[in-house]
């Protein structure tokens, strides 16, 4: 029996504009893998980028949000979580 390489071929369709934009890329497979991994690093840890919470996740979020709030960082203008118990002090790396 042959050993599995642990990889799988996944294909997808692209429109003409994306096809044209990718024409000069030497190794498109590697480029696409890198782009997907980079995008996955920047996704919401709860919804995994879907923008939708499951009913159970929503229940947990409701409980968490009792003691936390969203606020805009005065330094970088990004939305961040802050703990209400700490008077809304930042939980991010920016200093205010």
Does this model's pTM top 0.95? no
Provide the residue ranges of all domains of the chain, joining segments of one domain with +. Answer: 11-42, 50-96
Please give the pLDDT value at position 7.
85
What is the biggest distance separating any 2 CA atoms in the chain, rounded to whole angstroms? 62
Phi then psi for 87, rounded to 5 degrees? 55, 35
pLDDT in tens, the chain (96 residues): 556 568 899 999 999 999 999 999 999 999 999 998 888 888 888 888 888 999 999 999 999 999 998 888 888 988 888 888 776 565 555 554
């Amino acid at each position: 029996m042959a050993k599995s390489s642990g990889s799988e071929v996944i294909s997808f369709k692209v429109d003409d504009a994306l096809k044209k934009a990718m024409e000069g890329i030497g190794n498109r497979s590697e480029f696409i893998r890198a782009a997907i991994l980079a995008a996955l690093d920047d996704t919401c840890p709860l919804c995994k980028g879907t923008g939708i919470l499951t009913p159970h996740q929503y229940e947990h979020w409701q409980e968490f949000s009792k003691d936390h709030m969203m606020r805009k960082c005065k330094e970088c203008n990004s939305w961040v979580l802050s703990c209400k118990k700490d008077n809304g002090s930042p939980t991010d790396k920016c200093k205010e």
